[in-house]
Amino acid sequence: MSERLVDAWYRGAGWLHLLRPLEHVYKNVVARKRNAYLTGKREVWKAPVPVIVIGNITVGGTGKSPLVAWLGRWLSEQGWRPGIISRGYGGHSPRYPLYVQADTDPQHAGDEPVMLAQQTGLPVAVDPDRPSAARRLIAAGCDILLSDDGLQHHALGRDIELVVVDGERAFGNQRCLPAGPLREPLSRLASVDAVISNGVIDCSRLPVESHCMKLTPVHWRHLIDDVRYPAHQLPFSGQVHALAGIGNPQRFFRTLTNLGVEHLPRPLADHHRFTPTDLRFSDNLPVVMTAKDAVKCRSFANERCWALDVEARPDQALVDWLAKRLEAL
């Protein structure tokens, strides 16, 4: 996705009206696909265990994956045996379903599934056919499933739908692709169970339960030996190179600024395929990156490379609401 187009979506550039005929076609295709599942024309597989979908209706990063990681850890603390389902975007495995572990090659599994396996220690399964991944996890003993970025994947039935919204960028110009950043019209929010804002936006007019969370830097992690330092304790001094191949690189750069890190920003495309060349600079400055990028760089990282790990911190009202919903399942 070009940075110029994304910028146009969120500042409401006038020239986007030229794309509205294509937006109309896109919305019709999306509506027909969803209706096919809702009316029974296409099969929806209902798992014998609860399924929680965590997704978004906008293109790009919203903080969805950190929420999946938090939810997986929280469910484990409540006595559940959760497993995580992913499409594995950017990965190409010779076979599916692919059972993902912390050391799985991200070229096979995709960057986010490997990151989630590393951060949670939970079973993770990747398959373009999400019901197939679900069956693999159930066979492994999971009694509740989290479908990461599964909102638009209707073949897998779900008990709870959670939508994560970027509290800084919200819904942009509120138009669907390619005239805007929406994967589905805003009206889709009326049918989900809750909207979770990563940051603070006015959700009072949304026709759905709404809550807030924030992403909190936790620690710096040295890529070559996994040594960790608290986020407020910088393990380097002076200027750094900052790499971000995520949906919203500017959020990462603002986090660095808030931590007092003077950086040279290098935004990259979401799911950028890193090579050793990306880590080579004409100086010896430290190189910092996101946890998602780190899984692709670890095999060729050098002693100057650090990852900043962040965690989702939902408000207590969301925790209480989830507990009640799970009791009712």
What would the pLDDT profile of 142-177 be if each residue is shown by its tens digit? 999 999 999 999 999 999 999 999 988 889 999 999
As given in the structure block, the two tokens for residue 94 are 């010779």
Whether residues 170 and 160 fall in one domain = yes
- The whole-number pLDDT of residue 203 equals 62
- The whole-number pLDDT of residue 104 equals 96
| Dist CA 171 CA 57 (whole Å) | 8
Whether residues 103 and 181 fall in one domain = yes
Mean pLDDT of all residues in 46-62: 94
Provide the domain limits for residue 264: 216-312
Q: What is the mean pLDDT of the chain?
A: 94
Question: What share of the chain has pLDDT > 70, as a percent?
Answer: 98
pLDDT above 90 (res 69): yes
Question: What share of the chain has pLDDT > 90, as a percent?
Answer: 87
Number of domains comprising the chain: 2
pLDDT tens-digit readout, 7-49: 899 999 999 999 999 999 999 999 999 999 999 999 999 999 9
Phi and psi angles of residue 235, each rounded to the nearest 5 degrees, phi first: -85, 10
- The whole-number pLDDT of residue 152 equals 95
pLDDT above 80 (res 3): no
Residue owning tokens 């599916």? 96
| Dist CA 40 CA 54 (whole Å) | 23
- The whole-number pLDDT of residue 241 equals 98
Whether residues 76 and 94 fall in one domain = yes
DSSP 137: H
Q: Judging by DSSP bridges, how do beta strands 82-86 and 51-55 pair with one another?
A: unpaired
pLDDT above 70 (res 204): no
Whether residues 21 and 142 fall in one domain = yes
Tell me if residue 17 falls in helix, strand or coil: helix
Residue 283 CA: distances (Å) to CA of 53, 273, 309: 44, 23, 25
Whether residues 289 and 225 fall in one domain = yes
Whether residues 173 and 221 fall in one domain = no
Alpha helices in the chain (DSSP H): 3-11, 20-38, 64-77, 106-109, 111-120, 130-139, 249-258, 291-297, 316-328
Mean pLDDT of all residues in 254-271: 95
Whether residues 112 and 134 fall in one domain = yes
Residue owning tokens 């019709």? 28
Q: Which of 301, 246, 294 is nearest to 272 (CA)?
A: 246
Phi and psi angles of residue 205, each rounded to the nearest 5 degrees, phi first: -95, 0
**CB-based contacts of 200, cutoff 8 Å, min separation 6:** 167, 212
DSSP 171: T
pLDDT above 80 (res 233): yes
Whether residues 235 and 323 fall in one domain = no
Q: Judging by DSSP bridges, how do beta strands 82-86 and 160-166 pair with one another?
A: unpaired
**Residues in the chain, how many?**
329
Tell me if residue 278 falls in helix, strand or coil: helix
Whether residues 221 and 98 fall in one domain = no
Residue 178 CB neighbour total at 10 angstroms: 17
Tell me if residue 169 falls in helix, strand or coil: coil
Whether residues 242 and 283 fall in one domain = yes
Mean pLDDT of all residues in 92-96: 93
| Dist CA 295 CA 37 (whole Å) | 35
Whether residues 86 and 142 fall in one domain = yes
| Dist CA 166 CA 287 (whole Å) | 26
Whether residues 322 and 302 fall in one domain = no
Q: Which of 87-91, 116-120, 320-324 has the lowest mean pLDDT?
A: 87-91
| Dist CA 138 CA 129 (whole Å) | 15
* CATH code: domain of residue 137: 3.40.50.300
Q: Judging by DSSP bridges, how do beta strands 305-314 and 209-222 pair with one another?
A: antiparallel
pLDDT band at 80; cut points 50, 70, 90: very high
| Dist CA 37 CA 35 (whole Å) | 5
169 within 8 A of 197, measured Cβ to Cβ: no
